[in-house]
Every structure is written in structure tokens, then in C-alpha cells.
């Protein structure tokens, strides 16, 4: 008889930044893993545009500061500096498919993640964080942006786009589950899947619902492995399913959902304080790493 392994308990607070998860759609389509036990609508903010901008809101969530204060603003992005490199990208896309992945990685590295990052402290300073716009390099987001550009131009089929996207999304969820066992007080990761697919399927609610249901299924897997989980978004998405005037444009209907009990933050500026209040006060002290193997053997293996 096969024995199922028990996933260890952890006090680490796991934060999933689920870009463009719209609170109305999650409710309408019964996404119980996206909404968790305790959920509510989160007020976003606008700064450079008339609607919330991904690059500006995520560092606000992490720092608790406005875009003017944390310094990551759309007006400050050096789009012109990337024009030449994007032209090279388009040219090399004529080469065999296996080279495209390497090109996307190279572009992300040459652009240092593609976007500016804040110098201010964040809620993740005593933990770990990955692929968080305005806070860390976003090589995954850059690669997904390449796919979206190709799908928009008709150079990549919608089916292939979604297949690739769920590969990177699954990797993000798996990373968060793994980091929950790393004995840090808080971990965070950003996943962009509902933003690009929301833009793509804003007028096709049946297709968009399938995406939400697949993401919710992945969240069910994550939920079974993480004891303390927070899911939040930076904004929602206008769609025909919600009778919005501009389908495919960001909406103000962000969400926050958690396994934690009690009142929730009501806006993106107050998320950091709320998270810090819930970080385990009894977190273990960090210790220096020790390795039992002889150093000479490790040097012979080429590890050192």
C-alpha cells in the first residue's frame, strides 16, 4: 500500500502576488482557493496612468510607500534604451525555436531585469522574495512578456502561449512552497498569468474563466502545502463578463485573501503593516552554515 508523505508544518508567512486577479471574477467563478477562508476587495492606486500600473503598485505593496516615495514610476522607465535590443529580439525570432528562450534570458539580464527597482526597505527584507516588480529582477516576467508580444503579433499560438505560461506559473507556486520550509518569517513571489491572459481574453469570458479555474486548481495544490498563505493582487481587469466599459484595461477591483483570521487591509498602502503584524514573533535565529564533508574533498569535486 502506498504511503502519502506528510508536508511539514511551517510558520512562514507565504505571500503570492497574483497579478490582475479581479475580486469580482474570483467570486463569480467560485475560485475558493484564490479567495481562501478570509477575503475582501483591496483598493489599489493610480499614479502615472488613469488606472493602476503593475510596475508602480507592487513596490507600493512591498514598501508601504506611494510611487513618488519608493521611486518606481512609469515615467522613469528607460523605454528608449531598450529599443535597439528589442529590434535584435525581433530579428533573432526568425532563428530556430530553441534559441528564443536563451534570447529572452539574455535580454532580461542585459536590461538588469528590464525595469527599475526601489532602494527602500520592504516587508521581505528579513525573508526571501522573487520576481517581484519594482523590488527584484524579474527575468520570469520578462520571458513571459516576450511570449505575450509574440502572441499579440501572431507569431505564437494562444495554446502554446498558455502552455508556456502555466509552466512558469507552476514553477512560481512550487518555489513558494519550497521556500515555506526555509525557516524565514516571510516569503513572496509574483505571478503574472492572470494579467496577460486577462488582456488576451477580456472579451472571451469562457476562455478567461478556464484560466481562472486552472490557476485556482494550482492554488489548491499550493494551499495543501502552505500553512499560512496570503494571496493578493495589484489590480483587476475590465471584462465583458463584468460589463465593464473598457474590456482589456486594468480595473480597480484588486483582491486580498488569506488563511489568517481577523480584519484585512483595505488598500495597497496598508498591506505592508498588515503583513508585518502577522510575521511570527518567535522566528528562529539564523545560524551560520556548516558542512560536514571534508573541505579537501569538496575542493576535489570542484565545489569550492
Supply the CATH number for residue 206's domain. Answer: 3.40.720
* Residue 234, pLDDT above cutoff 80: yes
pLDDT at 177 over 90: yes
In this prediction, residue 92 carries a pLDDT of: 41
The number of domains in the chain is: 1
**What is the bridge-based pairing of β-strands 250-251 and 253-258?**
unpaired
Domain annotation covers residue 2: no
The answer as to whether 7 is a domain residue is no
Residue at 70 is within a domain: yes
Question: What percentage of the chain exceeds 90 in pLDDT?
Answer: 73
pLDDT attached to residue 3: 47
What pLDDT is stored for residue 288 in this prediction? 62
- For residue 160, the enclosing domain spans 13-75+96-301
pLDDT tier at 114 (50, 70, 90 boundaries)? low
Q: Dihedral of CA 293/295/298/303: which sign?
A: positive
Query: Is residue 221 in a domain?
Result: yes
Mean pLDDT of 203-209: 97
- pLDDT over threshold 60, residue 97: no
Provide the mean pLDDT of the chain.
Answer: 86
pLDDT in the model for residue 75: 76
Listed ranges 92-101, 160-169, 275-284, 286-295; the one with the highest mean pLDDT: 160-169
Report yes or no on 3 lying in a domain: no
Q: What is the pTM of this model?
A: 0.83
Does 82 map to a domain? Answer: no
- For the chain, where are the alpha helices, taking DSSP H only? 23-28, 32-35, 54-63, 67-70, 83-92, 98-110, 139-152, 158-179, 193-200, 205-223, 271-278, 295-300
Answer whether residue 260 is part of any domain: yes
Banded model confidence at residue 183, pLDDT cuts 50, 70, 90: confident
What residues contact 195, with CB distance under 8 A and at least 6 apart? 19, 20, 54, 237
Report how far residue 60's alpha carbon sits from residue 253's, in angstroms, rounded to the nearest whole number.
16
More confident residue, 297 or 253: 253
Q: Is 28 inside a domain boundary?
A: yes
Amino acid at each position: 500500500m502506498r504511503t502519502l508523505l506528510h508536508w511539514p508544518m511551517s510558520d512562514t508567512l507565504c505571500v503570492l502576488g497574483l497579478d490582475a486577479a479581479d475580486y469580482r471574477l474570483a467570486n463569480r467563478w467560485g475560485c475558493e482557493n484564490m479567495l481562501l477562508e478570509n477575503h475582501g476587495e483591496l483598493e489599489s492606486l493610480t499614479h502615472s496612468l488613469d488606472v493602476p500600473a503593475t510596475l508602480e503598485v507592487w513596490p507600493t505593496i512591498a514598501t508601504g510607500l506611494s510611487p513618488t516615495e519608493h521611486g518606481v514610476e512609469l515615467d522613469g522607465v528607460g523605454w528608449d534604451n531598450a529599443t535597439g535590443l528589442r529590434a535584435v529580439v525581433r530579428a533573432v525570432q526568425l532563428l530556430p525555436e530553441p534559441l528564443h528562450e536563451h534570447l529572452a534570458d539574455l535580454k532580461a539580464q542585459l536590461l538588469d531585469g528590464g525595469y527599475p527597482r526601489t532602494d527602500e526597505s520592504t516587508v521581505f527584507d528579513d525573508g526571501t522574495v522573487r520576481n517581484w516588480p519594482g523590488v527584484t529582477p524579474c527575468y520570469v516576467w520578462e520571458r513571459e512578456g516576450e511570449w505575450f508580444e509574440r502572441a499579440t503579433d501572431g507569431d505564437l499560438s494562444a495554446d502554446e502561449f498558455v502552455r508556456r505560461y502555466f509552466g512558469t506559473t507552476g514553477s512560481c507556486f512550487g518555489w513558494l512552497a519550497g521556500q515555506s520550509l526555509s525557516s524565514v518569517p516571510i516569503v513572496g513571489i509574483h505571478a503574472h498569468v492572470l494579467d496577460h491572459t486577462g488582456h488576451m481574453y477580456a472579451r472571451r469570458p469562457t476562455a478567461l474563466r478556464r484560466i481562472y479555474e486552472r490557476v485556482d486548481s494550482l492554488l489548491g495544490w499550493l494551499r495543501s502545502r502552505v500553512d499560512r498563505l496570503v494571496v493578493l493582487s495589484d489590480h483587476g481587469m475590465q471584462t465583458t463578463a463584468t460589463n465593464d466599459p473598457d474590456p482589456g484595461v486594468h480595473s480597480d477591483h484588486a483582491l486580498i485573501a488569506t488563511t489568517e483570521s481577523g480584519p484585512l487591509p483595505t488598500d495597497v498602502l496598508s498591506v505592508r503593516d498588515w503583513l508585518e503584524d502577522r510575521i511570527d514573533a518567535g522566528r528562529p535565529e539564523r545560524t551560520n552554515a556548516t558542512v560536514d564533508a571534508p573541505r579537501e574533498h569538496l575542493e576535489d569535486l570542484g565545489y569550492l
